[in-house]
Amino acid sequence: MDSKEKNKDSYKVTGLMSGTSLDGVDIAFCTFNIKEEKWSYTLENAETIPYSGEWKTRLSNLENRSALEFVKTDSEYGHYLGKITRAFHLNHNLKPDFIASHGHTIFHQPGSKFTSQIGKGSAIAAETGVPVVCDFRSTDVALGGQGAPLVPIGDQFLFDNYTYCLNLGGFANISYGEFGNRIAFDICPANIVLNYLASFLHKDFDENGKLARQGILHQPLLEALNKLGFYHRKPPKSLGKEWVVSEVHPVLQHFDIPVEDKLRTFVEHIADQVARAVGNPDTSTLLITGGGAFNGFLAERIREKTQLTLVLPDPLTINFKEALIFAFLGVLRWRAEINCLKSCTGASHNNVGGAIYRAFPE
């Protein structure tokens, strides 16, 4: 980026985020300011656009479809993102400098050196007339990293007043500072499994953990889950849907117990793994965001297991922190500054991730 952009001290950015739990597309319009090398933000407008049944089906099954269907969906989903973002801008009279889009993850296999988030940036740019930053993970994976988690650099610059930052989305992931480095990793599946189990009771999700609270903890299932090999690997490490299908689903299916008991046990499993991730620190704060923050029963179990002071911020921050941080990652990419930390991903070095699409000249 030219020196004019590097010298700017304020950016207006729309962040787009779609998680593995398929709740919908989070859209957040944010302002970022830098003064004396200190970043600040304002989350000005935000909205979640729920997926239609058709989009849920397409996105949830795409990894099993043909290569042609994958490419077609990548393009069509990009145009869909562009259309809903354009409507969001028009409805709120917003004019961003650019859009930063995470896309929707279909494949994530960093061990095989690939990751794929669909939603073509060129299509979003064409629909909105606004430049787009996207494909944040690929460079890190090419450099031998996990391509995840990426949120920690946002935690470092925007949420550094908390000891730990825990996101409870499709997966639970954590970020914290240690000896001058930012450490972060995926802990375990969260909503991607809780929602999967709730679907057997014809629910989209377990509201406030009510169903899990009614269940009975099943110790053999808990022990089987906690023994999964991923939990005994050291960071950096990340998870994808493929791992859940191949490793977690068979364990859940092996035990012929009520769904409520499986939900109760999986909540305990999440709390166990979060506790393992943080150890037993004193006077530490744990910021919790993501859809799982609204699961009161899960929060209770995490508090009981960790003995930490849990901080649940305002609903806007809980719901849109990831979209906010991907908007911030876009700012760093726009400025050609590091937005991906090797201490979090295991890449050979810190890097600048993201592709930029401009559909129209400026």
| DSSP-derived secondary structure for 235-285 | SS----HHHIIIIIHHHHHHS---HHHHHHHHHHHHHHHHHHHH---SS-E
Question: Is 67's pLDDT higher than 70?
Answer: yes
Question: Is 222's pLDDT higher than 60?
Answer: yes
Strand partners, 28: 15, 46
**pLDDT for position 19:** 86
Place of tokens 């009510």: 210
> Long-range contacts of range 216-220, CB-CB < 8 Å, 24 or more positions apart?
216/260, 216/261, 216/264, 217/261, 217/264, 217/265, 217/268, 218/255, 218/257, 218/261, 218/262, 218/264, 218/265, 220/255
Nearest C-alpha neighbor of 188 from the set 59, 305, 275, 281: 275
Angle between helices 219-226 and 259-278 (to 10 degrees): 40
**pLDDT for position 4:** 59
Angle between helices 53-61 and 67-92 (to 10 degrees): 140
**pLDDT for position 6:** 64
Domains in the chain: ranges and CATH: 3-146+348-357 (3.30.420.40), 152-316 (3.30.420.40)
> Is residue 270 exposed (0-12), middle (13-18) or buried (19+ Cβ within 10 Å)?
buried
**pLDDT for position 199:** 96
For the ranges 105-119, 159-173, 270-284, 290-304, the lowest mean pLDDT is seen at: 270-284
- Report whether 167 contacts 322 (CB < 8 A): yes
**pLDDT for position 5:** 64
Neighbours of 347 (CB within 10 A): 23
**pLDDT for position 251:** 98
pLDDT 10s digits, 105-159: 999 999 999 999 999 999 999 999 999 999 999 999 999 999 998 999 999 999 9
Which conformational region is residue 114 in: left (phi greater than 0), alpha (psi within -120 to 50 degrees), or beta? beta
Amino acid symbol at 237:
K
**pLDDT for position 362:** 74
pLDDT 10s digits, 70-92: 999 999 999 999 999 999 999 99
**pLDDT for position 20:** 80
As a whole number, the mean pLDDT across the chain is: 95
Question: Is 282's pLDDT higher than 90?
Answer: no
Grade residue 27 by pLDDT with cuts at 50, 70 and 90. very high
